[in-house]
Structure 1
Amino acid sequence: MNWLNEFTKHRGIVAILRGVRPNEVEVIAETLIEAGITLIEVPLNSPDPFDSIARLVKLSDGRALVGAGTVLTADDVDRLSGIGSQIVISPNTNSDVIRRTRKCDMFSMPGVFTASDAFNALDAGAHVLKFFPADTLGPGGISGIKAVLPVGTPIAAVGGIDETSFAAYRAKDIHGFGIGSTLYKPGRTADEIGTIARKLVAAFDAAG
């Protein structure tokens, strides 16, 4: 599958559900999809993450791309492939993880912070570079590194992003965003998440 094309069909907001539990993940995902957020990540340091991701795979049924974050090993990639995960997102640049992700025909979005990280990730086959933590680099810092990367390299900003951030990053041709605690925190209800998600979608669309 051409995962980059598939990824870009979706609004460039990745919902990061760190700490979500399997018994709540489906109602939260439905709320996000209804609000217009159709890229959903369950970090592997959440409770029973593989159970949550398996539930999301069944639930999404072509309506969303779902998968894992905080993926640190190639063995985790194999396990994710076995349950139908589509997305593999890491906090770091691990060539083994990236290559295994590509071998398993899943979407690769590793974390990078420097130009060296970025080129290493691209060499290994990353589809999109996740600059993290974005709030440390800022739009200008990411843009500076972007200037030396191959033209058209897809970039996402993750870390410290909320609805007020989109315009400044999009002005630097950065169109993907990972949204974590701004959107989801353990204990937050689906209704609360839905309200925040709709505000994020409206701000994202307005910034475009």
Structure 2
Amino acid sequence: MLERLLDSKILIVIRGLNLREATDLCEILLENDLRFVEVSFSEEDADEVLKTLKKHFDGELFLGAGTIFDEKNYRKALAAGADYVLSPGLSQKMAELSKKDRIPYIPGVFTPTDVQNALELGYDVLKLYPADMNLLRSYRGPFPKVKFIPFGGVTDENVTLYLSSGAAAVGIGSYIANKKLLRERNFKELDDRIKKIKSLIGGLSGSCR
């Protein structure tokens, strides 16, 4: 599954959206063949949102649970049907639980020590949080086999810079999972943003062939 995520290059992060907004967004993502979505468990009703999205889009979208760093929310995420889990930092507890349950886990890292510890635990697809272009460039030398996915502030203005700096994929939040646009049902603007991001990434991939 994680290989498919890296191939797609884009993971959309849902945070602070109600169920209707999240469902509308997922419909638009599916229409644009974006299939990886994270529901952040920083919201109280995140498990209900994830559970309902799974009912609507199971088999069409890969729906993960983010901001998972304690066992209570981990269990709620699995009960809601999460296909994978992510945490903002590296959690040995989450690593142990996810290995036991055989669910893909993407831990968060920032420092070289974080990266080394993640590698020692057997993880090489890592969430770089907060996103940092200079770190991506610096980590190419000591950690050439790590697949970094930066999260935080990724937009059409910097997505190609992140990818050319070494990112294997990107996590995109409010630029696309935008509450204001969804509340106003401005789906055309969301569709335009998605198509622009995809075009930029596609253009970058083509130039690297």
Same fold (TM over 0.5): yes
The aligned runs of 1:161-200 (5 Å cut-off) are 161-189=154-182, 190=185, 191=187, 192-200=189-197
Q: d(CA) in 2 for partners of 1:114 and 1:53?
A: 31
Q: d(CA) in 1 for partners of 2:9 and 2:56?
A: 20
Match for residue 70 of structure 2?
A: 73
Match for residue 101 of structure 1?
A: 98
Match for residue 24 of structure 1?
A: 21
Unaligned runs of 5+ in 1: none
Q: d(CA) in 1 for partners of 2:124 and 2:60?
A: 21
Q: d(CA) in 1 for partners of 2:20 and 2:165?
A: 39
C-alpha displacement at 1:86, in angstroms?
0.8
Match for residue 159 of structure 1?
A: 152
C-alpha displacement at 1:6, in angstroms?
4.0
Check if 1:143 corresponds to 2:171.
no
Q: d(CA) in 2 for partners of 1:169 and 1:116?
A: 22
C-alpha displacement at 1:132, in angstroms?
1.2
Identity %: 24
Q: d(CA) in 1 for partners of 2:125 and 2:194?
A: 23
Q: What amino acid sits opposite 1:185 in the alignment?
A: N
Q: d(CA) in 2 for partners of 1:99 and 1:128?
A: 16
Q: What amino acid sits opposite 1:188 in the alignment?
A: L
Contact 2:6–2:169 (CA under 8 A) maintained in structure 1: no
| TM-score of the superposed pair, with normalisation by structure 2 | 0.86
RMSD: 1.9
* Mean Cα deviation higher: 11-20 or 187-196: 187-196
| TM-score of the superposed pair, with normalisation by structure 1 | 0.87
Aligned length: 201
Q: d(CA) in 2 for partners of 1:127 and 1:206?
A: 26
C-alpha displacement at 1:90, in angstroms?
1.2
* Mean Cα deviation higher: 20-29 or 120-129: 120-129
Match for residue 2 of structure 2?
A: 4
Unaligned runs of 5+ in 2: none
The change in CA–CA distance for 1:129 and 1:23 in structure 2 (over 3 A counts) is same
Q: d(CA) in 2 for partners of 1:172 and 1:44?
A: 29
Match for residue 204 of structure 2?
A: 207
Secondary structure in structure 1 of the residue aligned to 2:160: helix
Partner of residue 38 from structure 2, selected from 30, 37, 41: 41
Q: d(CA) in 2 for partners of 1:205 and 1:102?
A: 34
